[in-house]
Chains A and B, each alone.
Chain A
Amino acid sequence: AQSVSQHNHHVILSEAASLELGCNYSYGGTVNLFWYVQYPGQHLQLLLKYFSGDPLVKGIKGFEAEFIKSKFSFNLRKPSVQWSDTAEYFCAVRAGTASKLTFGTGTRLQVTL
């Protein structure tokens, strides 16, 4: 069964700092990869997704992620965070043609002014 690891549980950054959140998965075959965000009091929203093609994926609000197959990684990046990026971020993977999505444990990002 596939699994997803997010090693950063809680990250605190100042505004304008650069962000990189790690995500590693364990599955040797074809994968679909996702990053979701949960702002305080709001429902989970899709930030970006990778299905195939260009491994560098751009999402909403200036976020991007790079799929590195050899490292089984899909790290999320943003060059300059804003206070409004304070939220919890979840990485998720779908293995092959499976219907279910497996989520990581999440990373809580706190951006200070």
Chain B
Amino acid sequence: DTAVSQTPKYLVTQMGNDKSIKCEQNLGHDTMYWYKQDSKKFLKIMFSYNNKELIINETVPNRFSPKSPDKAHLNLHINSLELGDSAVYFCASSPRLRQNEQYFGPGTRLTVT
């Protein structure tokens, strides 16, 4: 059984479009995260939610908007896509807010042309 899953795995789109990435975890965890991994492999936190409450909101453009309909799901919507948004986006989850072990999803490779 997949613990943390993301869809789609690959996303190719043109500049200016709006797209969403979905994440689901079946681990019963309270906390979920979005990370961006750039071409140099650097992993940077973008957002986190704990029981549907926004906890971490790093300095990302407001074109990025996370949404958590319930604690098992955390989606990422991106408006007006730009070339620099091309990256791999990872979702992750951890059991509780301050229990730091994080388990990553398979990633979504976003390519903006």
Please say whether chains A and B are actual partners in one complex.
no
Q: Which residues of B contact A (CB under 8 A)?
A: none
